[in-house]
Structure 1
């Protein structure tokens, strides 16, 4: 088994940082501005990614991957990050602070050690708010969030939920602090001017359909405002919804389509029991 697999699966105690911060995706994450702004202008800011230069016994000599500044920072002000998403040395509150930084995308995530259940891990995901899911560990060192689906290592778990939400609040998109600067929008001086047309009123069209007998089209009054293709699309929509609109029960519970673990087929079943951490 390679070093990468050993570390990802956490089948043994974590080795020293200096031995494993070798991959490009390994770094230190700054948890709070250092020094504090009321003492002096910060050298490193919260959310900044650092590359370790040396271990100075409770302090790290590091260089910023964004600014190139080199300095010392105490160990309590940073979290160690492996493979870009496995955070060691931070709790729930700090995880939420990092996931709520500006430019953080929906679906940004991290895996961290659980504060409430020793020996377990938590998956923290940014959605409308930050959601936390407990990751359980079986005696054979396999992992799961829902007991119906287990993974040999954390990397397999991340890969699966990066393809399908499968009961989570959303699909995992990018590891926390993986921020890409958006390219500035280039305005085309020769782009055509778009004129805003009158908004189509579906309710009015349906009423006209019910009130006008023998009319060829439910939107005949406003046909001049729409292209032939759009009129055909609207007519098809009305023909499909007209008969069933009165009998639709808004209180009827919907059945959700959930991923069954196979990429080739899906099945209907109730949502898996996920435990929020």
Structure 2
């Protein structure tokens, strides 16, 4: 299914090729995302919540055995409650409304995105992007299997398309920033808490002696660090002989020469809203 969409999609783990029951077994590399709380909060406290990332361990008909990325706990979940995610951003079998729900979860920011396959027709894809609202773009496919959103830009595979729109908006509502749910944090013990930042609030520049700023004696009892003193000393040596009024005039001249380039091609936002 994913054959010619993404380079390297066929590079599966060779150790799994000899499995005779490949449909009932998952790979530790397979990632799935929870689409709905399970079980429903109306029944009991959910074991898995919408948007949670899980590792697929095995497929056993309707029930899949999974391991939570966050808690490392294993359990079973109905296959209808999860979607397999390829390459971090290609969500299999996710409808338009569910894509909007996932992108609106707290872990996402402006530019978060996902590519989803049509639930009604295999091989048709759409790009969903979080902006002021969630925008959807139909991904078209040429006879030679290249892909495009705008006819003036075609790509050999979906990965090339995502890489391009991560660098340039090129008519989309914004440039792509990160795959949907990639902002979900791992377990707290895996990310040590950053040390607190201590700020000196009683620091007064007016009380600092100029000699302390340009001093290179690293052993002296100085309120200003050695690196900061060197930076300030370099600045003073360059700007000390300049008239402040002259400096302000030069700054105004530079600002007056700054202009914004207006695109000449007249292309507005590509707004191919889809109904997939």
TM-score bracket, shorter-length normalisation: 0.5 to 0.7
* TM-aligned CA distance change 1:44 to 1:238, over 3 Å: same
Partner of 1:78: 82
Give 2:266's match in structure 1, choosing from 264, 270, 273: 270
RMSD: 3.9
CA contact (8 A) 1:256 1:269 kept: no
* TM-aligned CA distance change 1:114 to 1:76, over 3 Å: same
* TM-aligned CA distance change 1:76 to 1:192, over 3 Å: farther
Partner of 1:190: 200
Give 1:8's match in structure 2, choosing from 3, 6, 9: 6
Q: Which runs of 5+ in 2 are unaligned?
A: 11-20, 186-190, 206-241
CA distance in 1, matches of 2:22, 2:99: 20
- TM-score, structure 1 as length reference: 0.66
Partner of 1:57: 61
Secondary structure of 2:159's counterpart equals: helix
CA contact (8 A) 2:58 2:66 kept: yes
* TM-aligned CA distance change 1:20 to 1:170, over 3 Å: farther
CA distance in 1, matches of 2:25, 2:140: 24
1:173 aligns with 2:177: yes
Q: Which runs of 5+ in 1 are unaligned?
A: 196-227, 243-253, 258-267
CA distance in 1, matches of 2:28, 2:98: 24
Partner of 1:109: 113
CA contact (8 A) 2:148 2:161 kept: yes
1:129-181: CA deviations, max 9, x gaps?
Answer: 11111100111111000000100110110111111111111111111110154
Secondary structure of 1:190's counterpart equals: coil
Secondary structure of 1:187's counterpart equals: coil
CA distance in 1, matches of 2:102, 2:59: 24
CA contact (8 A) 1:142 1:151 kept: yes
1:204-244: CA deviations, max 9, x gaps?
Answer: xxxxxxxxxxxxxxxxxxxxxxxx999767655766889xx
Secondary structure of 1:8's counterpart equals: coil
CA distance in 2, matches of 1:194, 1:93: 56
Query: Equivalences for 1:131-170 in 2 at 5 Å?
Result: 131-170=135-174
* TM-aligned CA distance change 1:117 to 1:7, over 3 Å: closer
- TM-score, structure 2 as length reference: 0.67
Partner of 2:212: none
* TM-aligned CA distance change 1:237 to 1:9, over 3 Å: same
CA distance in 1, matches of 2:156, 2:25: 21
CA contact (8 A) 2:137 2:149 kept: yes
